[in-house]
Chains A and B, each alone.
Chain A
């Protein structure tokens, strides 16, 4: 491996850092897109099982080729552009929604030292990227020149902005206890503590002392990604697919991929902020990427479980939950954590 890298380095010369970074980007994005594809199958299977059905099983053994068949179908479909749509913006919208969902992965630490960009303001970068994703939604809703697409975009924007506040407050609590904006340092901070020294690492992770914030972050994450039960943006019975209503073929597929990539991103983030990232839950097992993957899968399963269980929130209930429950709860817990850290009982020294 070392020799191979050496040879490549001499071959590319000064262009090597660029090539190496590109290779790393592909190393993240290709598995991610594959995960997105199979997340759609997992979603249909899990929801099927919970409804006492067996889910897709016709394409390939156990239905395993279903995502590929779906993808091929979308590739070959025509991309219809409404006559009075703003053509340029019409295609910028899905590209923005998808690109930001991928770009956010640059700062995700997969394991000790395995991170594309180990920047110190990683959390800020993440928040910025997920916020820019909203512009993709708004632009597409506006450029479609359709009132239903526009309603969907407005709902989506209002919802995402409301829940970003609760999400941000929840993250401020995490930042306070780990005293860093760097994602790797946040994970390292969770490896310390009385329980971690007893070999029960999972009790030292942020989820226990920050339990309400963990729930707020998880629920806000679901609302951020417009997933059930917060999917009024694409409520089929009201505005069909919301901002995506005029899109078809690959343009639609970009929104779809972006939504699922965001789901995985929120799951990974929850694992990193609250469930100790790649840290092993017990002392006698080594820390590794497998733990991060397992925790992420668990959170993703929760997403699917919620979708199979809960009916859609009414719009005013969504706003009530965001502004009148989560924001006060976050502020209270922020104060509580502040007092806790100033008291002699501080566990985060």
Chain B
């Protein structure tokens, strides 16, 4: 009996018609495409995009060249060199992030004791020739200066959960 039912089930294409019903229903469902340049999906305040180096409100750069980020970076994308400044503080002379190596894990941000290296919400950036995505200290500081308001806001929003 079972074989006979199975025979007629396959002969009358029962399961195929069920499948067609599913796609037929979806033909009329409201479409969920987000049309990117015009529409954007909402972003979390923890979004991990382009990196930035931050400064204190008085203009002093936060980074103290502890090299924790360099040590924790799983992709070894960060290169830091440091030296003593005239006021006897330790500062970076070189702080490079190779964005081609970076896997955007956010460990550098987690490791930083002074919230100097952060990841911003920026994700629409590109390089046009080799080396364009090798960000130096000056470039990272510029990103930080430009987006400080948003960066500070996101950090304040996330502070209660840290």
Instruction: Assess whether A7 is interfacial by the CB under 8 Å rule.
Output: no
* CB-CB nearest in chain B for A51: B26
Instruction: Assess whether B89 is interfacial by the CB under 8 Å rule.
Output: no
Contact of A49 among B16, B20, B27 (CB under 8 A): B27
CB distance from B150 to the nearest CB of A (A): 30
Instruction: Assess whether A310 is interfacial by the CB under 8 Å rule.
Output: yes
Instruction: Assess whether A331 is interfacial by the CB under 8 Å rule.
Output: no
In the bound complex, what is the Cα–Cα distance between A54 and B38 (angstroms)?
15
Instruction: Assess whether B43 is interfacial by the CB under 8 Å rule.
Output: no
Q: Contact between A310 and B32 (Cβ–Cβ < 8 Å)?
A: no
Instruction: Assess whether A308 is interfacial by the CB under 8 Å rule.
Output: yes
Q: Collect the chain B residues with CB atoms within 8 Å of residue A308's CB.
A: 23
Q: Collect the chain A residues with CB atoms within 8 Å of residue B19's CB.
A: 309-310
In the bound complex, what is the Cα–Cα distance between A50 and B24 (angstroms)?
7
Q: Which 9 A-B pairs have the closest CB atoms?
A: A309-B23, A50-B23, A54-B33, A54-B31, A309-B19, A53-B33, A308-B23, A49-B27, A50-B26
Instruction: Assess whether B22 is interfacial by the CB under 8 Å rule.
Output: yes
Count of residues in B whose CB is under 8 Å from the partner chain: 15
CB distance from A297 to the nearest CB of B (A): 15
Q: Collect the chain A residues with CB atoms within 8 Å of residue B159's CB.
A: none
Q: Collect the chain B residues with CB atoms within 8 Å of residue A46's CB.
A: 27
Instruction: Assess whether A305 is interfacial by the CB under 8 Å rule.
Output: yes
CB distance from A51 to the nearest CB of B (A): 7
In the bound complex, what is the Cα–Cα distance between A308 and B29 (angstroms)?
15
In the bound complex, what is the Cα–Cα distance between A52 and B26 (angstroms)?
6
Within 8 A of B (CB), among A74-99: none
In the bound complex, what is the Cα–Cα distance between A172 and B112 (angstroms)?
80
Q: Contact between B20 and A305 (Cβ–Cβ < 8 Å)?
A: yes
In the bound complex, what is the Cα–Cα distance between A306 and B19 (angstroms)?
9
Binary CB contact string for chain A from 292 to 319 against chain B (1 if under 8 A, 0 otherwise)? 0000000000000110111000000000
Q: Collect the chain A residues with CB atoms within 8 Å of residue B20's CB.
A: 305-306, 309
CB distance from B12 to the nearest CB of A (A): 10
CB distance from A187 to the nearest CB of B (A): 28
In the bound complex, what is the Cα–Cα distance between A57 and B37 (angstroms)?
13
Query: With A305-B20, A305-B24 given, can you name 4 additional A-B contacts, CB distance below 8 Å?
Result: A52-B32, A53-B31, A53-B32, A310-B16
Q: Collect the chain A residues with CB atoms within 8 Å of residue B26's CB.
A: 49-52
Q: Collect the chain A residues with CB atoms within 8 Å of residue B29's CB.
A: 52
Binary CB contact string for chain A from 28 to 55 against chain B (1 if under 8 A, 0 otherwise)? 0000000000000000001001111110
* CB-CB nearest in chain A for B20: A309
In the bound complex, what is the Cα–Cα distance between A53 and B19 (angstroms)?
18
* CB-CB nearest in chain B for A329: B11
Contact of B31 among A52, A215, A305 (CB under 8 A): A52
* CB-CB nearest in chain B for A307: B23
* CB-CB nearest in chain B for A219: B13
* CB-CB nearest in chain B for A308: B23
Within 8 A of B (CB), among A242-285: none
CB distance from B142 to the nearest CB of A (A): 33
Within 8 A of A (CB), among B15-54: 16, 19-20, 22-24, 26-27, 29-33, 35
Q: Contact between B32 and A305 (Cβ–Cβ < 8 Å)?
A: no
CB distance from B37 to the nearest CB of A (A): 10
21 contacts between A and B (CB under 8 A): A46-B27, A50-B26, A50-B27, A51-B26, A52-B29, A52-B30, A52-B32, A53-B31, A53-B32, A54-B31, A54-B35, A57-B35, A305-B20, A305-B24, A306-B20, A308-B23, A309-B16, A309-B20, A309-B22, A309-B23, A310-B19
Q: Collect the chain B residues with CB atoms within 8 Å of residue A53's CB.
A: 31-33
